């Protein structure tokens, strides 16, 4: 395999991986604050992508306007989902909560299918065509844009959790809900906000994906790819989600290309991520960036 | 100022934990709640601070008033805003956050930056160790420092009443003395009303003005701390004195000797 084809595999991997990162970030935000494992994360991406598509294509709104509106819509949706559905199962056994999110994923996918149809859709990108050469490989502006955008989003979220009052309250709630309550934090509101945030970042991922390669209902399997990404990065780490997502994207792309050209085996893509996951969990059970519980001795 | 009238608390809709408990916390005083494990001390505090809901408990009878207002079923965050702050048992600091971030969370409901800053200085003045360790991750503090942080964090909300749940738990005698001094100073200098829950009766009665002894979800004894210190039952069961008749003690099965006043 030549150097340039490897490089282009990597670049592709980073781009797909940055979408994984966004979805993983949403997953981590929900898990961190509410300890809910959200199986509907991929469907939230789907909703975001289709809503943005509808706004840009059917209603002919400028891309950035519809992008913003999608964000608002999905934030509201997340807030409502938490208030209406998940609030009722707070404190219930983990299995019931998982069932709820699985059910949610089915419902969301069905609704999207019913409203927008099942055809593959591409959102016309606001980024001009063209490419720059990196090490002899062309990288399109579109790709650069998605990478940069994900990076900015990640940094923004990192800053949000580190410095803002609400972000701090979310971290406190993640550490100890009852103690957070005793500090005067309205924990219910924190839960709802974390769902809203999770929906927004997933939607951003969805829109990025839709401008690059288009979306169809099958894209919701991105939600599954989130598991290797977040577990690789550690379930409770924002940085971990970002790095894990990109890493999974690169690894599966490169592994897929390698297996295809060297061994003539097709479709290794979907296995690679999970194979890696098993290895990582054997070496570092709390993930690469996950926090070990602090124990004073 | 804070009155608990005849409350009953039920967990999981059938476990009755508090059975008609009444007490009064006078403004500016230190009130102590004594009792063994399971007597209902912590439950009483949680009923006052509104944290029972997270444990599937609720006040089914009676009422709690604070400053003349009925707060029996008020949301926890509104009680904090009203000036009631609980320092929970086991310190419950936010382990993954730094000392300073912990303090900021304590002042979560306060939006005035200057007030937050001045309260933080106040907390650091009372606990200089925290100032030294302001950027450390709180989980790595020693037990004593964590207790200081928990109290300092409570000060950040600018409370009128602070409820301390077992502040001496797991601390060495020297540190217990230190916490004891701090509690007294906060009461005298800041005019804080304090409701102190303790198993360490010696500590509690040393600082308190008034005390209640709880048993099995009810108040069985109350009085000025001075009088309680000399009360024979309290001496025998909580202060370890008075049980001088060793011969008879061993002749009675221990569970029959277990304290009961009735």
Residue B48 lies in a domain: yes
Angstrom distance (rounded) from CA A15 to CA A19: 7
Average pLDDT, chain A: 84
For residues B30 and B74, membership in a common domain is answered with yes
Run of H or E residues at A78 = helix A63-84
Residue A164, both tokens: 């803002």
Residue B219, both tokens: 């108040």
For residues B76 and B133, membership in a common domain is answered with no
For chain A, how many helices (H) and strands (E)?
A: 11, 2
Q: Which of B49, B102, B107, B108 to mutate against chain A (most A CBs within 10 Å)?
A: B108
Residue B137 lies in a domain: yes
Paired strand residues for B69? B66
Contact A277, A227 (CB under 8 A): yes
For residues B126 and B179, membership in a common domain is answered with no
What is the sign of the dihedral through the CA atoms of B138, B141, B143 and B149? negative
Residue B20 lies in a domain: yes
Contact B218, B186 (CB under 8 A): no
Residue B262 lies in a domain: no
Range of the domain at B23: 2-83+160-257
Instruction: Please name the residue of chain B whose CA is at the shortest distance from the CA of residue A236.
Output: B96
Q: Would you place residue B246 in the very low, low, confident or very high pLDDT band (cuts 50, 70, 90)? A: very low
Report the CATH number at residue B56. Answer: 3.40.50.300
For residues B142 and B55, membership in a common domain is answered with no
Q: Would you place residue B252 in the very low, low, confident or very high pLDDT band (cuts 50, 70, 90)? A: very low
In chain B, positions 78-97, which contact chain A (CB-CB < 8 Å)? 80-81, 85-86, 88, 92-97
Q: Looking at per-residue confidence, does B182 or B244 come out higher? A: B182
| Rounded (10°) CA dihedral A6, A9, A10, A15 | 160
Give the tens place of pLDDT for each residue, B187-203.
999 999 999 998 888 88
Residue A77: closest CA among A54, A102, A111: A111
Contact B98, B105 (CB under 8 A): no
Angstrom distance (rounded) from CA B112 to CA B104: 12
Q: Which of these three, B106, B132, B159, is where a domain ends? A: B159
Run of H or E residues at A215 = none
Confirm or reject contact between A93 and chain B (CB < 8 A): no
Average pLDDT, chain B: 87
Run of H or E residues at A84 = helix A63-84
Mark yes or no for CB contact A181/B81 under 8 Å. no
Give the tens place of pLDDT for each residue, A69-113.
999 999 999 999 999 888 887 777 888 888 899 999 999 988 988
Composition of chain A by helix, strand, coil, percent to 5? 75, 5, 20
Residues near B100 by Cβ (< 8 Å), separated by ≥ 6? B120, B134, B135
Mark yes or no for CB contact B108/A179 under 8 Å. no
Q: Which residues of A110-122 are buried (b: 16+ CB within 10 A; e: fewer)?
A: eebeeebeeeebe
For residues B38 and B150, membership in a common domain is answered with no
Residue B246 lies in a domain: yes
Task: List, as one string, the DSSP characters of B228-249.
Answer: HHH-HHHHHHTSS-S---HHHH
Q: Which of these three, B159, B179, B208, is where a domain ends? A: B159
B97 chain-A contacts, CB cut-off 8 A: 168, 171-172, 175
CB-CB: which of B56, B86, B96 is closest to A182?
Answer: B86
* 3-class state of residue B158 by DSSP: coil
For residues B169 and B142, membership in a common domain is answered with no
For residues B96 and B115, membership in a common domain is answered with yes
Instruction: Please name the residue of chain B whose CA is at the shortest distance from the CA of residue A180.
Output: B105
Residue B211 lies in a domain: yes
For residues B98 and B76, membership in a common domain is answered with no
Task: Please give the share of chain B, as a percent, with pLDDT higher than 90.
Answer: 60
Residue B113 lies in a domain: yes
For residues B115 and B76, membership in a common domain is answered with no
| CA angle (A255 as vertex; A249, A258 as ends), nearest 5 | 140
Give the tens place of pLDDT for each residue, B28-45.
999 999 988 888 999 999
Residue B158: closest CA among B192, B127, B183: B192
Residue B88: closest CA among B31, B28, B36, B48: B48
Q: Which domains does chain A have, with CATH numbers?
A: 3-283 (1.10.3470)
B153 chain-A contacts, CB cut-off 8 A: 183
Q: What's the order of all strands across the beta sheet hosting B218-224?
A: B84-87, B161-165, B193-198, B30-34, B210-215, B218-224
Average pLDDT over residues A113-122: 82
Q: Which of these three, B106, B141, B159, is where a domain ends? A: B159
Query: What ipTM goes with this model?
Result: 0.84
Q: What's the order of all strands across the beta sheet hosting B69-70?
A: B15-25, B2-11, B57-66, B69-70
B72 φ/ψ angles, rounded to the nearest 5 degrees: -50, -40
- β-pair type (B218-224, B69-70): unpaired
Q: Looking at per-residue confidence, does B209 or A290 come out higher? A: B209
Run of H or E residues at B161 = strand B161-165
B59 φ/ψ angles, rounded to the nearest 5 degrees: -85, 115
For residues B42 and B71, membership in a common domain is answered with yes
Give the tens place of pLDDT for each residue, A3-33.
778 888 888 888 888 888 888 888 888 888 8
For residues B236 and B116, membership in a common domain is answered with no
| Tally of structural domains, chain B | 2
Contact B19, B216 (CB under 8 A): yes
Confirm or reject contact between A239 and chain B (CB < 8 A): no
* 3-class state of residue B148 by DSSP: helix
For residues B238 and B108, membership in a common domain is answered with no
Query: Quick one: pLDDT at residue B8?
Result: 93
Q: Would you place residue B155 in the very low, low, confident or very high pLDDT band (cuts 50, 70, 90)? A: very high
CB-CB: which of A172, A178, A185 is closest to B77?
Answer: A185
Angstrom distance (rounded) from CA B227 to CA B36: 20
Among A114-123, B2-11, B46-55, B83-92, the range scoring the smallest mean pLDDT is: A114-123
Taking 60 as the threshold, does the pLDDT of residue B254 lie above it?
A: no
């Amino acid at each position: 395999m030549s150097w340039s084809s490897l490089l282009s595999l990597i670049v592709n991997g980073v781009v797909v991986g940055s979408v994984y990162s966004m979805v993983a970030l949403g997953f981590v935000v929900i898990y961190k604050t509410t300890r809910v494992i959200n199986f509907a994360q991929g469907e939230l991406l789907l909703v975001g992508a289709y809503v943005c598509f509808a706004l840009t294509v059917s209603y002919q709104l400028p891309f950035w306007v519809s992008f913003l509106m999608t964000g608002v819509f999905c934030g509201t949706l997340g807030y409502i989902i938490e208030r209406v559905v998940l609030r009722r199962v707070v404190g219930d056994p983990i299995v019931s909560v998982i069932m709820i999110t699985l059910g949610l994923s089915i419902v969301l996918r069905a609704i999207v299918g019913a409203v927008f149809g099942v055809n593959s859709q591409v959102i016309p990108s606001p980024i001009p065509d063209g490419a720059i050469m990196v090490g002899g490989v062309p990288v399109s502006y579109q790709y650069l844009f998605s990478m940069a955008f994900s990076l900015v989003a990640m940094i923004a979220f990192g800053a949000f959790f580190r410095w803002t009052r609400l972000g701090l309250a979310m971290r406190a709630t993640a550490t100890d809900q009852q103690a957070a309550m005793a500090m005067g934090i309205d924990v219910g509101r924190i839960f709802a906000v974390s769902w809203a945030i999770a929906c927004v970042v997933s939607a951003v991922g969805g829109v990025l994906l839709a401008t690059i390669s288009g979306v169809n209902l099958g894209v919701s399997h991105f939600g599954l790819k989130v598991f290797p990404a977040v577990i690789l990065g550690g379930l409770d780490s924002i940085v971990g989600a970002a790095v894990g997502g990109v890493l999974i994207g690169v690894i599966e792309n490169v592994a897929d290309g390698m297996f295809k050209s060297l061994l003539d085996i097709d479709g290794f893509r979907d296995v690679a991520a999970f194979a890696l996951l098993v290895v990582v969990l054997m070496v570092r059970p709390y993930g690469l960036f996950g926090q070990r519980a602090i124990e004073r001795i | 100022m804070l009155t608990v009238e005849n409350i009953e608390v039920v967990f999981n809709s059938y476990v009755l934990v508090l059975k008609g408990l009444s007490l009064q916390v006078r403004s500016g005083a230190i009130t102590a709640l004594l009792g063994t494990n399971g007597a209902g001390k912590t439950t009483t505090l949680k009923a006052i601070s509104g944290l029972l809901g997270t444990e599937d408990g609720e006040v089914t009878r009676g009422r709690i008033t604070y400053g003349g207002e009925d707060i029996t079923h008020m949301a926890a965050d509104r009680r904090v805003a009203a000036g009631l702050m609980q320092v929970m048992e086991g310190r419950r600091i936010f382990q993954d956050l730094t000392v300073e971030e912990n303090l900021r969370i304590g002042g979560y409901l306060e939006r005035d930056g200057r007030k937050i800053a001045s309260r933080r200085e106040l907390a650091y003045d009372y606990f200089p160790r925290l100032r030294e360790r302001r950027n450390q991750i709180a989980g790595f503090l020693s037990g004593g420092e964590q207790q200081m942080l928990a109290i300092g964090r409570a000060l950040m909300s600018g409370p009128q009443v602070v409820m301390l749940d077992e502040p001496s738990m797991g601390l060495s005698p020297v540190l217990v003395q230190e916490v004891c001094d701090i509690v007294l100073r906060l009461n005298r200098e800041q005019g804080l009303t304090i409701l102190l829950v303790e198993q360490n009766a010696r500590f509690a009665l040393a600082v308190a003005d008034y005390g209640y002894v709880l048993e099995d979800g009810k108040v069985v004894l109350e009085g000025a701390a001075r009088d309680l210190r000399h009360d024979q039952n309290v001496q025998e069961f909580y202060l370890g004195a008075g049980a001088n008749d060793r011969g008879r003690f061993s002749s009675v099965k221990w569970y029959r000797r277990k304290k009961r006043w009735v």
